[in-house]
Amino acid sequence: MSDSTRAEHSSDHSSEHSKSPLPGYFAVFIALLIGTGLTVFAATLDLGAFNAPVALGIATVKATLVALFFMHVYHASEKLTKLVVIGAIFFLLLLLGLTMTDYATRLWS
Amino acid sequence: MPDSTVAGLHHQEIQHPELLHHFATAEQQRNSASLGMWVFLATELMFFGGLFCAYLIYRHWYFADFAAASKSISMPLGATNTAVLICSSLTVVLAVWAAQTARRTLLLITLAATMLLGLTFLGIKGIEYRQKFVEHHVPGASFSFDHEEIPGHPGQYANPSHAQIFFSLYFVMTGLHALHMIIGLGIFLWLFLMAWNGRFSPEYHTPIEIGGLYWHFVDIVWIYLFPLLYLIDRHA
């Protein structure tokens, strides 16, 4: 019995380490640096009302890359971890979204 | 029956000393620790979320004054700090990988590099704060933001009391972030000492993973702080 669990484990490990994660890490790193450059560049352009959405969009792509690959959410074996991440983002958006729909529509003020 | 006892003893023998008795396997223990850290990070997200919410409301109300105030903080320093933190996130994932693959020297180097980059970030932050003190942009009795033009509206000046709200949010948000960086430096110093004493192995490196999650989270907060605080209406 212990042998079978051990065998399971070692096969688990070998599949985890069969290909190196390093190229992926460096690709994400380069993408994050490019994203930073892009944000700075986009801020110098006059996009009218779209300056803020573009800046926040790039930031969200960068944050997603960090969470998925550097924080290993993408490869998380525990589904509960993914649920906590999604739940946290959901409640943050609830806080920001509902507050701003209130403040942004107070036409009488 | 005696067979299973022997198997049980054998199982005890091969398990790692760091495996606590209430977990079945090392993997289960790792997953539980990481889940607990994620729950903590969820509370941190709401903690910073309140400040982001306050920022959004005031930015919505006093956009022109926020744009003028944002223009007075150094964008090159902020962008450099963003790059510094991204580099430190890379050294953190490399540290986790080094621990997983039993590369002790690389682990020590990457942990030390993370601390060095963290200190660089705080140093640059300090230069920025100093500039704000010199320019009297720190909220309080000596605050002054007179005759600062609103970007794109020549001849129109920002309302100093509205600009002061921007600087209050700037100092609270970057200050709370810097406090997290200082705590992160303490965690990484502890990780470095543990790694120096050879406490980590491919079977047991949970503290590095957990500390790494914290560091990446602090990086993500900065990824949002940089465009929101430094890059309001820069084009004009």
The tens-digit pLDDT sequence of chain B (236 residues) is 444 444 454 455 456 777 888 888 888 888 899 999 999 999 999 999 999 999 999 999 999 999 999 999 999 999 999 999 999 999 999 999 999 999 999 999 999 999 999 999 999 999 999 999 999 999 999 999 988 888 888 889 999 999 999 999 999 999 999 999 999 999 999 999 999 999 999 889 999 999 999 999 999 999 999 999 999 888 76
Surface-to-core class of residue A79, CB atoms within 10 Å of its CB (0-12 exposed, 13-18 middle, 19+ buried):
exposed
Q: Which helix (H) or strand (E) holds A52?
A: helix A51-65
- Segment A11-28 shows an average pLDDT of 72
Do residues A19 and A34 both lie within one domain? yes
- Which residue reads 């640059």 in tokens? B124
Report the C-alpha gap between B144 and A6 in whole angstroms.
68
Considering only CB atoms, B82 lies closest to which of A36, A52, A103, namely: A36
| Torsion angle of C-alpha atoms B193, B195, B197, B199, degrees rounded to 10 | 120
Do residues A68 and A31 both lie within one domain? yes
Do residues A83 and A69 both lie within one domain? no
Do residues A10 and A51 both lie within one domain? yes
Helix ranges, chain B (H): 2-14, 26-61, 63-71, 75-100, 104-134, 160-196, 206-225
The radius of gyration computed from the CA coordinates of chain A, to the nearest angstrom, equals 21
pLDDT tens column, A24-51: 999 999 999 999 999 999 998 888 888 8
Domain limits of chain B? Answer: 26-230
B119 in reach of chain A (CB within 8 A): no
Contact A42, A54 (CB under 8 A): yes
Do residues A93 and A46 both lie within one domain? no
Confidence at residue B14, expressed as pLDDT on a 0 to 100 scale: 58
B126 in reach of chain A (CB within 8 A): no
Confidence at residue A109, expressed as pLDDT on a 0 to 100 scale: 54
Confidence at residue B236, expressed as pLDDT on a 0 to 100 scale: 66
Report the C-alpha gap between B38 and A72 in whole angstroms.
11
- Which residue reads 């792509």 in tokens? A61
Q: How far is CA B216 from CA A101, B107, B143, B219, in A?
A: 30, 17, 34, 5
Q: Which CATH architecture has domain B26-230?
A: Up-down Bundle (1.20)
Report the C-alpha gap between B56 and B231 in whole angstroms.
14
Q: In sequence order, which residues have a C-beta less than 8 Å from that of residue B74 and are 6 or more positions away? A: B128, B131, B230
Do residues A7 and A56 both lie within one domain? yes
Q: Which two tokens stand for residue B40?
A: 């903590």
ipTM of the shown complex: 0.88
Residue A16 pLDDT more than 70?
no
Considering only CB atoms, A59 lies closest to which of B38, B93, B227, namely: B227
Do residues A95 and A66 both lie within one domain? no
Interface A-B, measured as beta-carbon pairs within 8 A, has a size of 134
Report the C-alpha gap between B79 and A36 in whole angstroms.
7
- The residue of chain A nearest to residue B26, with distances taken between CA atoms, is A9
Give bridge partners of residue B153 from the DSSP assignment: B150
Do residues A25 and A67 both lie within one domain? yes
Do residues A67 and A21 both lie within one domain? yes
Min Cα separation B93/chain A (Å): 6
B83 in reach of chain A (CB within 8 A): yes
> 34-93 in A: which are within 8 Å (CB) of B?
36, 39-40, 43-47, 51-52, 55-56, 58-59, 62-63, 66-67, 70-72, 76-78, 80-81, 84-85, 87-89, 91-92
Report the C-alpha gap between B32 and B25 in whole angstroms.
11
Question: Domain containing A43: what range?
Answer: 2-75
Confidence grade of residue A9 (pLDDT, cut at 50, 70, 90): very low
A32 in reach of chain B (CB within 8 A): yes
Say which range, A9-13, A74-78, A97-101, has the weakest mean pLDDT.
A9-13
pLDDT tens column, A54-94: 999 999 999 999 999 999 988 877 788 999 999 999 999 99
Q: Which pTM was predicted?
A: 0.88
- Which residue reads 């919505």 in tokens? B60
Do residues A71 and A103 both lie within one domain? no
> How many structural domains does chain A have?
2
Confidence grade of residue A8 (pLDDT, cut at 50, 70, 90): very low
Q: How far is CA B30 from the centre of its chain?
A: 22
- Nearest partner of B121 among B180, B172, B171, B80, judged by Cα: B80
- Nearest partner of B121 among B179, B172, B91, B81, judged by Cα: B81
Residue A2 pLDDT more than 50?
no
Min Cα separation B171/chain A (Å): 21
Do residues A94 and A46 both lie within one domain? no
Do residues A65 and A102 both lie within one domain? no
- The residue of chain B nearest to residue A69, with distances taken between CA atoms, is B93
Report the C-alpha gap between B178 and A63 in whole angstroms.
18
B153 in reach of chain A (CB within 8 A): no
B100 chain-A contacts, CB cut-off 8 A: 17
Give bridge partners of residue B149 from the DSSP assignment: B157
Q: Which two tokens stand for residue B201?
A: 């192995």
Binary contact (B53, A39; C-beta < 8 A): no
Confidence at residue A75, expressed as pLDDT on a 0 to 100 scale: 85
Binary contact (A59, B223; C-beta < 8 A): yes
Please report, as a single letter, which amino acid is at residue A8: E
Rounded to 5 degrees, φ, ψ at B159 are: -75, 115
Report the C-alpha gap between A55 and A7 in whole angstroms.
49
Please report, as a single letter, which amino acid is at residue A72: H
